């Protein structure tokens, strides 16, 4: 077996099941899960209709590169959303459909890392665990940048030693962050692009939460926005990952895309051709419908705004918790150990959250997720309100 498999740590939800496995929650309370970040809002009907209308395509082998109409709809969306000048994105060279960002982030790391270079894959800490697992299995060493409140829950990139940048092969970014919800400012993205040029590494920007924000008049910028402002029409060393899972409540569709540096995507396409992960044609056509519509995305954001407002009204008086820049998570400080808080909350109120320490790694004696929990506001409004009321009651009674 691949010895790198022994380096993989249990997934956070495995740890959570072990933590709660012997706990008997209150029998008179129905369970409410704020633990898993799975969107629960209704999927758009028109996407399902597009999917079923094309079920005859089950008899067609899909190509790894994907349909031209899908790639063009993605390029057009990127132009509208991130201010990319018309014509910069060549749908045949700069865009690649993928089966959701999770598999793409993992596969991308395998394609990019030079195993012989003793390189680093640098990521935020806390982080989406795929970044770490992909690094190990690609033969690289993960390097973690703490995301602390003192720096707005973003890494302090200015404090990263030069030798780390020199060994870096991939810098993973997540904006808005999972679990913190923090947004990386566009000026910071420009500085990181300059560092990538200086030290020759790839920036892999995971922006799957980018469409969950609060101000309709100020959509958050992304790595493509920074490229546009810099006049970087070749998107050199910049690759961005997007998905329909959170934006459109379509996690089961397994549809996303990678966009950016054409030379990198040329090699990634070769890898994926051998990997055998082409998106089914009917899924591609349903995805075209989703990327071409914004009304359902605005309605989705309205639902999250309502939940954040209601839940924060209840929790803010008893917890150190603030509205994030984006996403659907609350990154709340616990009045004590985060694992004990999670266990006792489950036992007392039958509400499940995730300990922040399970989403982070301890480096130099510090785990930046310790003393916090992640709460996913994905359940219906009434359920989120009930969960918040139970959490507030639990804290007050402690």
Q: Where residue 349 sits, what CATH number does that domain have?
A: 3.90.1150.10
**pLDDT by residue (tens digit) across 164-179?**
999 999 999 999 999 9
User: Same domain, yes or no, for 279 and 135?
Assistant: yes
Token pair listed for 321:
């918790």
For the residues 148-170, what does the mean pLDDT come to?
97
E-strand ranges in the chain read 32-33, 95-98, 120-125, 141-146, 168-174, 202-206, 238-243, 256-260, 329-333, 351-352, 354-355, 372-376
Q: Is residue 357 part of a domain?
A: yes
Is residue 113 within 8 Å of 138, Cβ to Cβ? yes
* Predicted pLDDT of residue 166: 98
352 shares a domain with 248? no
**CATH assignment of the domain containing 163:** 3.40.640.10
Whether 105 and 28 map to the same domain: the answer is no
Strand-pair category, 238-243 with 202-206: parallel
Closest listed residue to residue 101, CA positions, set 253, 219, 213? 253
Residues 240 and 345 in one domain: no
Give a yes or no: residue 50 inside a domain: no
Q: Which sign, positive or negative, has the C-alpha torsion 311, 341, 147, 177? A: negative
**Residue finishing a domain among 265, 293, 321:** 293
Residue 20 tokens read as: 């709660």
Same domain, 153 and 266: yes
Q: What is residue 27's predicted lDDT score, i.e. its pLDDT?
A: 86
Count of the separate structural domains present in the chain: 2
360 shares a domain with 277: no
Q: d(Cα 170, Cα 102) in Å, to the nearest integer?
A: 16
pLDDT at position 73 over 90: yes
State which residues form the domain around 328: 3-42+296-397
Q: What is the pLDDT of residue 375?
A: 98
The pTM of the full predicted model, rounded to 2 decimals, is 0.97
Identify whether residues 37 and 186 lie together within a single domain.
no
Residue 47 inside a domain? The answer is: no
Residue 156, SS3?
coil
Q: Are residues 267 and 305 in the same domain?
A: no
Q: Domain boundary residue among 243, 270, 293?
A: 293
Q: What is the DSSP string of 188-255?
A: HHHHHHHHHHHHT-EEEEE-TTTT--S-TT-PPP-HHHHHHHHT-TT-TTEEEEEEHHHHTT-GGG--
Residues 301 and 247 in one domain: no
| Residue 16: closest CA among 338, 241, 332, 236 | 338
Q: How many CB atoms lie within 10 A of CB 87?
A: 9
Indicate whether 122 and 164 sit together in one domain: yes
Domain shared by 272 and 333, yes or no: no
């Amino acid at each position: 077996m691949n010895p790198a498999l022994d380096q993989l740590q249990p997934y956070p939800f495995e740890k959570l099941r072990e933590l709660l496995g012997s706990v008997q929650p209150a029998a008179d309370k129905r369970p409410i899960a704020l633990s898993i970040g799975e969107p629960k809002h209704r999927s758009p009907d028109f996407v399902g209709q597009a999917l079923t209308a094309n079920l005859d395509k089950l008899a067609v082998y899909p190509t790894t590169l994907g349909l031209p109409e899908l790639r063009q709809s993605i390029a057009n969306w990127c132009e509208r959303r991130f201010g990319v000048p018309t014509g910069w994105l060549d749908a045949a060279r700069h865009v690649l459909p993928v089966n959701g960002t999770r598999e793409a982030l993992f596969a991308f790391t395998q394609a990019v890392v030079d195993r012989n270079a003793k390189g680093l894959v640098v990521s935020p800490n806390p982080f989406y665990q795929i970044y770490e697992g992909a690094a190990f299995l690609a033969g690289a060493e993960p390097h973690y940048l703490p995301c602390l409140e003192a720096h707005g829950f973003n890494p302090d990139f200015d404090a990263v030693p030069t030798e780390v940048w020199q060994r870096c092969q991939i810098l993973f970014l997540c904006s808005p962050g999972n679990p913190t919800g923090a947004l990386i400012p566009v000026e910071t993205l420009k500085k990181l692009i300059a560092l990538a040029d200086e030290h020759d590494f790839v920036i892999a920007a995971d922006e799957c939460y980018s469409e969950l924000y609060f101000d309709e008049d100020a959509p958050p910028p992304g790595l493509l926005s920074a490229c546009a402002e810099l006049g970087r029409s070749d998107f050199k060393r910049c690759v961005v990952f997007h998905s329909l899972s959170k934006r459109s409540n379509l996690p089961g569709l397994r549809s996303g895309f990678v966009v950016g540096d054409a030379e990198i995507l040329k090699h990634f396409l070769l890898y994926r051709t051998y990997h055998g992960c082409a998106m089914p044609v009917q899924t591609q056509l349903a995805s075209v419908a989703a990327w071409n519509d914004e009304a359902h995305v605005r309605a989705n954001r309205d639902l999250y705004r309502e939940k954040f407002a209601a839940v924060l009204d209840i929790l803010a008086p008893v917890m150190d918790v603030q509205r994030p820049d984006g996403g659907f998570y609350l990154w709340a400080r616990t009045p004590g150990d985060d694992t004990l808080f999670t266990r006792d909350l489950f036992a007392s109120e039958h509400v499940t959250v995730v300990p922040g320490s399970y989403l982070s790694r301890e480096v130099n004696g510090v785990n930046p997720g310790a003393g916090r929990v992640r709460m996913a506001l994905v359940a219906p409004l009434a359920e989120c309100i009930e969960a918040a009321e139970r959490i507030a009651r639990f804290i007050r009674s402690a």
